[in-house]
A and B are shown apart, each in its own frame.
Chain A
Amino acid sequence: MFVISLIGFSIQDNLGDPLRELVGQSVSEAERDAMRERMGLNDPFLVQYGRFLSKAVQGDLGNSYFFKKPALEVIAAKFPATLELVIGATFIIVVFSVPLGVFCAINPKSWFSKFIMGFSIVGISVPVFLTAIFSIYIFAVELGWMPSYGRGETSDLLGWQSGFFTWDGFVHLILPSFSLASIMMPLFIRLIRSEMMEILQMDYVRFAWAKGLYPARVWFVHALKNTLLPVITVGGVQVGTMLAYTILTESVFQWPGMGFLFLEAVNRVDTPLIIAYIIVVGLIFVVTNTIVDLVYTWVNPTVKLVGQKS
């Protein structure tokens, strides 16, 4: 986290002059200098960084220049929208990639598997904004089945503005989730397929066949459980990466989430907000990886946390 904050903070000097956006053309150069001095922007880098760090450990990442509110608060307000998008995309990935990956591993020669494999290459190669724009064109513009932008109606659930529980909000979620999922799904299908094909060659799978078990039991209990171990590891990292891709998806769909906010902040040279975003994303990375490690210990009996008795 410390390293992330250092990197995040050090890029701010290269982003441009925040004052240009902050004040109008009419303000004189002398007044600008005075303002810089007041905001501490003329201090040496280390002094600025030290000031930032001592505040950061107290939970204060500075105020957004544009919103005139604490940067964390601004991000927190947008966080649910992004989280919903990531949850929606993760859900789609799990629902589609596991059965498809397993199918392709079991029937590597069927035409359907070959089709899926070919299609997944296309999926990996096409950038997410292109998928997003095409899906808007097809489903929203041409067919008119789905709304093309925004979050739609949200409902209040324990202080959480959620789009999950209203039909309108849910429909708005479909296209963005699918286009966000489209970048990861082919990877997961291929990963599950290749892992599972390897596992199917293992002696314990052969032994399971020799025991006369039903195919479903061999595939989904004996093979799939072992297949998912490495997939979970990769999956945790990819959830973080997906967060990065939300920047693209959210800007195409005008989705009022963190990624969209970040792009706006970059345009406005709103450095405290940019740094706060980078730090929050870093924190999410760390948290998801910790969760993945915990889940892994729980799924894989050969890995035990220190101090835990079996």
Chain B
Amino acid sequence: MALLEVKDLQVEFPLGRKTLQALYGIDFALDKGERLGIVGESGAGKSVAAFSILNLLSKPGRISGGEILFEGRDLSKLNDKEMRTIRGNRISMIFQDPMMTLNPVLTIGTQMVECLKAHRDISSAEAREIAISKLREVMIPSPENRMDSYPHELSGGMRQRVVIAIALLTDPSIIIADEPTTALDVTIQAEIMALMLELCKTNNVGLILITHDLAVVSQVTERIMVMYAGRVVEEGYTQEVIKNPRHPYTRGLLKALPQENRPGQRLNQIPGSMPALDAIPAGCAFNPRCEFADGDCVKAVPDLVGEQGHRAACVHVDRIPAFVGAGGAE
């Protein structure tokens, strides 16, 4: 059985009299040590999906249906106390902006030790030792001195390393990383990503990587899940999906990537933008932006079809021509 199994997860945001649906029943699973990428534009619901696993949705968001099975227990039914034993202990998170993730008025050491002491019955001195060893693992120079630093004394890349060290402190089985490199310099992005990949492999930690960067996903993850307007539109093995995308949305994302062998060309873009939560089109939500759309697309929401290992939610899957890559002839 999978380590983490999300079944038909629905999330909604009640706002006054209106209720906005953010997730329309998504399914995914993660095995021990497996790496899953969740991709999509802003507003697709990737972060909502990630935050709902630890029940950290920002108010007034709430899980309105489905199950989140972690080692057989449904996380969405746990009370606060039980949830606390999971958060930061069995499943930890890495946030987008390391400038905002660390508390500016507490030292690095304080923020690491408190996490260990919340989950284990150990002395401060022991916790400090573990914290220093984790800082060394994420390759922070002279970790003993850094323990007494405040976040503002470190660079962005260093801070994200600290955040990664905090996520690894308690040897969790899953790390959820919400766009961990988006706020960093391009040169540092690759370094941090490589570090995360290596640490996940050596510690056999499962990774859920949320990003809009398909290049990163293809390098780091084994499986991929493409989301659009609160639904999964395509999922499968990363290499398979990247080479042979079936859903027009995934194709659009791939085409928008800059190509090494075609410098100086205009990047392709998907026309239009992600619909707002209260204005999701009928049928396939992508149909207004889709080059293959016709009358069938507005009739019903398509199901994910295809064999296990690569499924896509498009009624025209069979009609769509083979993918030729970015910049290729239409």
Instruction: Tell me, in angstroms, the Cα distance from A76 to B85 when the chains sit together.
Output: 59
Q: Which residues of B contact A222 (CB under 8 A)?
A: 103, 106
Q: Could you tell me if B88 and A213 are in contact, using CB atoms closer than 8 angstroms? A: yes
Indicate if A134 sits at the interface (CB-CB under 8 A): no
Q: Could you tell me if A210 and B105 are in contact, using CB atoms closer than 8 angstroms? A: no
Q: Could you tell me if B115 and A299 are in contact, using CB atoms closer than 8 angstroms? A: no
Q: Which residues of A contact B96 (CB under 8 A)?
A: 203
Q: Could you tell me if A212 and B87 are in contact, using CB atoms closer than 8 angstroms? A: yes
Instruction: Tell me, in angstroms, the Cα distance from A54 to B99 when the chains sit together.
Output: 54
Instruction: Tell me, in angstroms, the Cα distance from A250 to B43 when the chains sit together.
Output: 60
14 other A-B residue contacts (CB within 8 Å) besides A206-B56, A212-B84 = A203-B95, A207-B163, A209-B56, A211-B114, A211-B166, A212-B87, A212-B88, A212-B119, A214-B84, A215-B80, A221-B106, A226-B105, A300-B105, A302-B150
Q: Could you tell me if B114 and A213 are in contact, using CB atoms closer than 8 angstroms? A: yes
Q: Which residues of B contact A210 (CB under 8 A)?
A: 54, 56, 87-88, 92-93, 95
Say how far B317's CB is from chain A's closest CB, in angstroms: 38
CB-CB under 8 A for A301 and B152, given A207-B93, A207-B95:
yes
Report A206-246 CB contacts with B as 1/0, cut-off 8 Å: 11111111110100011001100100000000000000000
User: Which residues, 67 to 93 on B, are CB-close (under 8 Å) to A?
Assistant: 80, 84-89, 92-93
Q: Could you tell me if B87 and A211 are in contact, using CB atoms closer than 8 angstroms? A: yes
Indicate if A310 sits at the interface (CB-CB under 8 A): yes
Indicate if B268 sits at the interface (CB-CB under 8 A): no
Indicate if A204 sits at the interface (CB-CB under 8 A): yes
Chain B residue at minimal CB-CB distance from A108: B59
Q: Could you tell me if A207 and B101 are in contact, using CB atoms closer than 8 angstroms? A: yes
Binding site for A on B (CB under 8 A): 54, 56, 58, 80, 84-89, 92-93, 95-97, 100-107, 114-115, 118-119, 150, 152-153, 163, 166
30 A/B residue pairs, CB under 8 Å, sorted by A: A202-B100, A203-B97, A203-B101, A204-B100, A204-B101, A206-B58, A206-B95, A207-B163, A208-B103, A210-B56, A210-B92, A210-B93, A211-B114, A211-B118, A212-B86, A212-B87, A212-B89, A213-B115, A215-B80, A222-B103, A222-B106, A226-B104, A226-B105, A299-B105, A300-B105, A301-B104, A301-B152, A302-B104, A302-B150, A310-B150
Instruction: Tell me, in angstroms, the Cα distance from A204 to B104 when the chains sit together.
Output: 9
Indicate if A26 sits at the interface (CB-CB under 8 A): no
Q: Could you tell me if A225 and B118 are in contact, using CB atoms closer than 8 angstroms? A: no
Report A266-289 CB contacts with B as 1/0, cut-off 8 Å: 000000000000000000000000
- Of A208, A226, A310, the contact of B153 (CB 8 Å cutoff): A310
Indicate if A125 sits at the interface (CB-CB under 8 A): no
Instruction: Tell me, in angstroms, the Cα distance from A208 to B166 when the chains sit together.
Output: 11
Say how far B172's CB is from chain A's closest CB, in angstroms: 10
Q: Which of A201, A229, A310 has the most CB of B within 10 A?
A: A310
Say how far A197's CB is from chain B's closest CB, in angstroms: 11
Instruction: Tell me, in angstroms, the Cα distance from A214 to B89 when the chains sit together.
Output: 13
Chain B residue at minimal CB-CB distance from A223: B103
Say how far A229's CB is from chain B's closest CB, in angstroms: 8
Q: Which residues of B contact A310 (CB under 8 A)?
A: 150, 153
Q: Could you tell me if A204 and B103 are in contact, using CB atoms closer than 8 angstroms? A: yes
Chain B residue at minimal CB-CB distance from A300: B105
Q: Which residues of A contact B84 (CB under 8 A)?
A: 212-214
Say how far A111's CB is from chain B's closest CB, in angstroms: 19
Chain A residue at minimal CB-CB distance from B87: A212
Query: Would you list the 3 A-B pairs with minimal beta carbon distance, nearest first?
Result: A212-B88, A211-B88, A212-B87
Q: Which residues of A contact B114 (CB under 8 A)?
A: 211, 213, 217, 221
Q: Could you tell me if A209 and B95 are in contact, using CB atoms closer than 8 angstroms? A: no
Q: Which residues of B contact A225 (CB under 8 A)?
A: 103, 105-106
Instruction: Tell me, in angstroms, the Cα distance from A310 to B154 when the chains sit together.
Output: 13
Q: Which residues of A contact B119 (CB under 8 A)?
A: 212
Q: Could you tell me if A212 and B115 are in contact, using CB atoms closer than 8 angstroms? A: yes
CB-CB under 8 A for A203 and B58, given A214-B118, A217-B118, A225-B106:
no
Q: Which residues of B contact A302 (CB under 8 A)?
A: 104-105, 150, 152
Q: Which residues of A contact B102 (CB under 8 A)?
A: 204, 207
Instruction: Tell me, in angstroms, the Cα distance from A302 to B150 when the chains sit together.
Output: 8
Chain A residue at minimal CB-CB distance from B96: A203
Q: Which of A202, A213, A215 has the most CB of B within 10 A?
A: A213
